[in-house]
Structure 1
């Protein structure tokens, strides 16, 4: 009988090992692992508790055997029930079940001390209850296979119960043979059930991934030895195939590759097939079935396809994005108006040509003279048309070794590659200027174009792109200083002028930060009464080591570099701070005028920001007056007009400065939202000469008709003051009445005004 029990236990253990081997193939099915170990522990419990257990003699060995048999039996029961609950996705809480099984194991050991038969009976009952509980969980709402396993659990429970009925010590052959049969059927049922579930989940996963592949916007293709074996609809659509069968025809792939990329694709395919860990990202041109070029971005990796190595490619039609990038690249390197290469292209090309030992070449920096006059008199459409016409003619007529680029509004650059001698460069410049002698017809207007050209040669005048461009610009400015059509070669003496301008531009930033700019306030007086009616804030630069710098020198430099924004903001901040002090001192204010550069109006938020600052400082808008020169207003009318309107509408005072030096018309004066016009000192200086008086009188009549205040600037004598008053000027300003004053002296003047 002992041999039969041991044989049955061994077969039971083998069934448990079969389950464990099945679990190793699919580790995600934890319940198979639990059932496998349950069978092995049950075989151990049968071997130790029934087959090998010696007669009850109270020895330590007997107690150890009983304890081991009880642990194996209850461990088998615990794992069996745990597997069933996990299979049914029910919670398995060890803190609940483990104490219960430990209590049952302890009861078995205690009963074995009293009588071995009691322990066998209790173990049979425990195991039967566990089996029937598993049957309940497995059979409830189960499919046929799960109900079969549940019946096997029920039968196993009856075998456990009947074992002590045949023999109190559980050593009868009948229950053991029946139990071996039931356990075998149960094991086979569990194996089949696990395999069935694994196949069902694998099939479900395959269907899920199949649907994902079929509906993916990304193309998926599998290629084995340069033969297409699978492609999803997105991949077929990318390449223009109507069906997978069409795409899988022999030699269907090579026609999709540009000839220059065939070898690269073959090398990548071999590399992927040879390396299961390969992940190669790539992008390139492909051809669709209709011959259309497409830009594909892909990722190639290794996969196994029906036992053969293959290349899995995930791809995306990137043609739209690539087209957008090409458009952006073209926009970054080409001028939209003339379709010429732009500054970025020219600088990049110069970087390529200025390496050490590179052959000599020359650049021509060409600027159209008085181009702004075309815009002002004929409109920007004519100006744009003229630029396009000039670009077309130069492109058509310049030699093949010349590259034409547009650097700015009316500035062009000609790059002459392979030209080394000065005489060759001079001949090329003169030939280019000769092309401009024939007038251009633009929208019915016949226009002559004059250009000033600066010439710089590599490597004599500069060894890098920036140095050459600076040299060309310096030579162009020298040429522009000459009358008529002219050109100039760069000379070393021009460097000092450029260096001085550079030093000036660099110093302005430090001056702003270090507070080297101060304001003086020149008073303005009412005509006839000569009473103080306001101030004009004039900026002064006290440059350490160099003394006072004229605004005529540093303001243009600040405008060229864009630092005028920071300088203008500083001036306005100083003025508003001073106005706040005077408002607190006097309780009322006289307006202070501030000159504003047209460059500041390029900032669309200038007017809004200024009004916000006034509000934040609790200053009335009429405490500040904005002055803009007549020439600047004309040249930047589009930027100036809307912002002046906003300021004027908010109550801020606006004035047109230096009237008489530009080309403003009655229509322009009527359109500008200003409250005052300031007659330039060039109109006041000749007074009271009859011709000058006539001009001033007409200007005053014009201002009065538009209900403007008329300010006479540059009043140097009493005779000039009286003449200006008699001709219609309403305010006077000049050294005769009051020079620009430091804050303390301006405040003393305000004390007198406030006391009246």
Structure 2
């Protein structure tokens, strides 16, 4: 433009009118060109701001959708486990309400931070089981989710937002259908997710005032929102344009909408939560994220007005008189300088560093933010190259981006960190845009470095929350899986040294139950710190949930070092904890699996370490175990036997044998011991020592115990009805059965059902049953004794053996364990023990009976020392009811030393 001005000022023979027209045209062209550049720049800046805002909204929506999706999936996993357990119960297996409530409580503990309840309702909509153990009296048959389950829903059912009748708060319920063996609707299992769970997570993100987050269902009904809108919870948000999104079955969409909640117009991004009828809607008000752009528009309009005013004034002056052309030229120069200053002021108003450079990448102009960033005066920078201003590493990346913009003639972007002159590290989005003149020729590059440090920190904070346990700040299960994948990838094709330790705190539940979850959480924090201090820097400790931790060990060298690490962890956790004035002691059980011996993928290593951990806990806890294939075989065999045992209880594979108890002096039958037997259709006879422990661990022992007691009483009553001599029927009670709160009532009910008088029933209790909760068990035995039921202590001398409880127990008989009878009369220790037991029984005025008598010498020794009552192969093996009936028909007398032939 200045060259054209010089041409105008030269003497010329052109007519004054033509020169006037040319000058006006040049002025208008300059103004339009400037307006075009300003408008183009503003359009680029607006598109950039909108694109940047939409990308931020999309990133935030992805994080929030992942959080909601993980929450629903985690709860659905628990519901599936509960559904499997409850459908099994509906198939005819043990349905003990206390056992189901206990199982529900253990499941609820896995999702305690997400769900406030875990309940079971029957087909009529009434609650029958609850993880809390308290059954609410309200019904849910009018609830939509109940009706959807009843009408045949086979997948997870997500309810609309509900105001819970029991807990009086807003929730959404997740439920799954329960079916009876015929496939009919039998009820449902449900978990209630607090709306506050999502509300608190939204609030923790600390978003700006112009932003909003909403979780809605498929009918736009509000579940949770930031900023909070409690008066709108459960109600549809008017005008929310999700209908088209749902109709097209699209999981994503963006739109601009005027909020009916707070009256603010925002740009929104909506994402469906997985395949569930839930949507995360994230919004940002344009008035908030375009604030800087509006200021830029203001300054641009002002500069255009200034330029237009200057041009108009210059042309008007020139038109008034050609003779004042020189003066007018000076005025134009001053106006140009003024415009330059205005433009410079506009550049300096930008908060981020900005620059203009020529095709040789020499700086033409920079703003104050750029000068502050590089630590040099702004007026010294024009004419210099980037390499002369910035350190080599930073200069190389900046030069490369501008070079790409020049060669490809299109805008270039990248994000990177940059150290400023004052040493501060900031995160920037660098944008280089090629600048073309009115002929389309490249004249340089316009660049800006947008400071995104706050956004980067926000994203890092969200990522950290998604990958770490919120209580202990340890890596969570998801992050551990990523770290294990990286470790396995690094060891691929080499001699791997990667191991996984799975740790569970012993007795932690007692702390939570007695002192509360706040003390329990503090204990977990201190335990996590001890674990971190006990491992090397390259090893990883992760919290898996509850009181379970997993340790990823790399480069361990040898199995002996793994054992040393495990013992070090056990020792560290074995020291007492001081929490809120309480001295707490817990132990640790650790399972160890190694790659690739115990698994070639993450899932196998985790499963096998968990299996080994349970073996350590089964051994008494405070120990570690390595996983072995044999251990897996035993676990598989145990699962198979448990399944077979459940089927056997529904068929005829479980039966009773009866072993005679005799008076050795007369040979008279004085009683029978009922012994349960299992004839597996494929394996054959399975000894009780093998299947009774399985029954106790799988909660089948009470069902088996009830069946044995009922069948023994029925058989005894049947013999009496046939006119046979009555005998006492002895039945064993396990320690698990003794812990039943209603044991006495159940036994009374069985006696009433079978018609057997209480005096013909004897209950045998092992010594080990008294180790725990002695006072309560003594009270139960007193109640049974008062009914007339005989009581005896089985396996005496092998368990607790405390005279303090012997004198308190209302027993009638002491039973000498067969381990002391087996070596009689040759073993002097056994002789001394048997004499002592007989003496104790005599002093307490109790009967004494010896079991395991197999030889005549043993019987003679016992008779000589005052023990007349005996049981064992010498008198009769356990046999069927038919064989025992034959003995009773002979008057109940057994031929001495020839009993086997008789029975």
TM-score of the aligned structures, taking structure 2 as reference length: 0.42
Say which structure is richer in strand.
2
Say which structure is richer in helix.
1
Structure with higher Rg: it is: 1
